[in-house]
Structure 1
Amino acid sequence: MGQAKKRKQRFLTDHTQCCYCGLPATTIDHFPPRNFFKGRHWPVGYEFPACHTCNHAKSRDEQSLGLLVRLIRFDTDPDTREFQEALTAVRNNNPILIKELVPKSAVASKLYLRNRFGSAENVGGLGLTGWRGLSIGPEANRLTDNMCVWFAQTAWYLHCHSIFEGRIIWSRIETEFLGHEAAQQIVSNLVGQPEMLRNGKNVSNDFFYRYFASDDILVSIFQFGQRPQMVFVVCATRKGAINTDLELAKLWGQRNIDLS
């Protein structure tokens, strides 16, 4: 038996249940997926037990998300071979997403940046002069919604040491809102700040998160890249822990995970 098969066998001996559905685990899933990371330099320790059905069902969406997480970074270079390969793969397998990703005009892009960052000088200081935006439609939203749910399930498994069952809520916010005092107070309570290492090197330039976890709740923010356009806020509450009939503002997504 090869070393890779032995490692897989040992892992599945220690982790017997799928972290998504609770059924017997037969495969190892990586989340975030390896294609999210430049050069596929993903962090050690973000491997999770999964059944074949759950793992296989995510694969095509993860391919599309690999492109999206590059597009929501201000520091992405679309001329790299890696980006072009991701674009080609999604063009072949998810034409709905490609059809949605229509570039905004130069004028509309400039106005968008001015509204976010205040002045042409600020935009230039950020190195975003000439930056072009893209429209985001229902397929992109569906994909990032799924990503937030998978993040909640895997982070719960990693930090709360059980299969998640309960309610997940999430939202996308523009990065600069984290600078507001109220947001900083919330972030200061997210005391968990995992290291992202691969072969001893820090890979948090591609993925970074902070979290707070207890027996009943996990709250986290995560982002992709040092210069993300947006960050994701996720909260998972264990089944029966709080009232799940609470109404949420429209900017929040929600999903119940019931394994019974």
Structure 2
Amino acid sequence: MGQRKSKLSFFLKQHPKCCYCGGEVDAGSIDHVPPKAVFKYKHRPSGLEVPACSHCNAAHSPFDEFFAFIAFLQLSSKANHVEPRFNSMISGLVPRFPEAIVEIVRKSSRGWVKDASGLLRPVIVATFEDPAVHFAVEYMAARISCALVYLFHGASVPLQTCFKTRWVSNASGDHAAVMKLARGLPNYISLKQGSFNTSDQFEARYFIESPTRAGFAFNFHQSFQVTCVVEPEAQRGEEEPLFTVTRDGIAPLNHDYPPSLRIPVRR
């Protein structure tokens, strides 16, 4: 416990402001991007750590587990991993996202795919139409983009900066176009520590011109991709989901989401 407090104290001296609140609010914790929940068995190499205030950390927490659930459900369709936490994740998510979980389960079906050895294995084929699913994925992309700008440019994304997000699965007709776009981005990062490499679970390509102009393409579990464009302000008539930086952290800008998906206002 003493070492953990010492590490946190040292970290906050170097990074005193929350990177999600436009550099306007004091940080009080370390946020991992992506969160540990996204990785198999919650095994995550160190690195990609950013300062966050207690408000943002609390706001992120329920969506971390929901995003992980979506990621592992997508991964199960590849038949090479079944996350042991899967059933407990569903139980934990039902109270917060009941309609979304019921909708996903109701529209899921079982199928068969060939694994790397050529054997047929049963898989879950899910359809993601509930707004909670889209919110969780797009919110995660905006958060990681905000964090990477801070890490690699050395400055917080300013207030009112916007994030345009889009996600596609490997089965989507837009997948090839998104992958072509991703390969055109000049920089690459994944998480690894010694021989422990998680590029099969998370990798990103990106460019950062400034804290208000950047582009990212994230690949999760080699199953689905999310792109995010950072722009100074929203343009009228935008159809893409937009998020923006506020003093309450990253929040949706142009979509009306159900109450369960609203980001709490700082008290």
Pair 1:161-2:148 in alignment = no
Q: Which residue of 2 aligns with 1:91?
A: 94
Residue 98 of structure 2 aligns with an amino acid whose one-letter code is P
- Please give the secondary structure, in 2, of the residue aligned with 1:158: helix
Consecutive unaligned residues in structure 2, runs of 5 or more: 249-267
Q: Distance in 1 between matches of 2:133 and 2:186?
A: 31
Q: Which residue of 2 aligns with 1:48?
A: 50
- Could you tell me whether the CA contact under 8 Å between 2:208 and 2:215 is conserved in 1? yes
User: Shift in Å at residue 13 of structure 1?
Assistant: 0.8
Residue 90 of structure 2 aligns with an amino acid whose one-letter code is L
Could you give the per-residue CA deviations for residues 66-86 of structure 1, whole angstroms, max 9, x where no partner exists?
Answer: 211111223367854222222
- Could you tell me whether the CA contact under 8 Å between 1:75 and 1:225 is conserved in 2? no
- Please give the secondary structure, in 1, of the residue aligned with 2:107: coil
- Could you tell me whether the CA contact under 8 Å between 1:29 and 1:47 is conserved in 2? yes
Percent identity of paired positions between Structure 1 and Structure 2? 23
Pair 1:255-2:232 in alignment = no
Q: Distance in 2 between matches of 1:82 and 1:167?
A: 34
Q: Distance in 2 between matches of 1:2 and 1:200?
A: 29
- Could you tell me whether the CA contact under 8 Å between 1:170 and 1:254 is conserved in 2? yes
Over 3 Å counting, the alpha-carbon distance change for 1:44 and 1:127 in structure 2 is farther
- Could you tell me whether the CA contact under 8 Å between 1:18 and 1:24 is conserved in 2? yes
Which protein is richer in helix relative to its size?
A: 1
Match for residue 232 of structure 1 among 215, 220, 226: 226
Residue 231 of structure 1 aligns with an amino acid whose one-letter code is Q
Residue 214 of structure 2 aligns with an amino acid whose one-letter code is L
Match for residue 176 of structure 2 among 151, 160, 179: 179
Q: Which residue of 2 aligns with 1:245?
A: 235
Over 3 Å counting, the alpha-carbon distance change for 1:167 and 1:9 in structure 2 is same
- Could you tell me whether the CA contact under 8 Å between 1:26 and 1:52 is conserved in 2? yes
Residue 88 of structure 1 aligns with an amino acid whose one-letter code is S
Over 3 Å counting, the alpha-carbon distance change for 1:224 and 1:195 in structure 2 is closer
User: Shift in Å at residue 214 of structure 1?
Assistant: 1.2
User: Shift in Å at residue 173 of structure 1?
Assistant: 2.3
Which protein is richer in strand relative to its size?
A: 2
Matches within 5 A, 1:58-73: 58-73=60-75
Pair 1:218-2:206 in alignment = no
Q: Distance in 2 between matches of 1:72 and 1:17?
A: 35
Matches within 5 A, 1:127-166: 131-165=124-158, 166=161
Q: Which residue of 1 aligns with 2:28?
A: 26
Consecutive unaligned residues in structure 1, runs of 5 or more: 114-119
- Please give the secondary structure, in 2, of the residue aligned with 1:164: coil
- Please give the secondary structure, in 2, of the residue aligned with 1:88: helix
- Could you tell me whether the CA contact under 8 Å between 1:103 and 1:132 is conserved in 2? no
Over 3 Å counting, the alpha-carbon distance change for 1:128 and 1:238 in structure 2 is farther
Q: Which residue of 2 aligns with 1:13?
A: 13
User: Shift in Å at residue 88 of structure 1?
Assistant: 2.2
User: Shift in Å at residue 128 of structure 1?
Assistant: 7.5
- Could you tell me whether the CA contact under 8 Å between 1:16 and 1:24 is conserved in 2? yes
Residues matched between the structures, number? 237
Q: Quick check: which has more Rg, 1 or 2?
A: 1
TM-score w.r.t. structure 1 length?
Answer: 0.78
Q: Distance in 1 between matches of 2:71 and 2:145?
A: 17
- Could you tell me whether the CA contact under 8 Å between 2:79 and 2:122 is conserved in 1? no
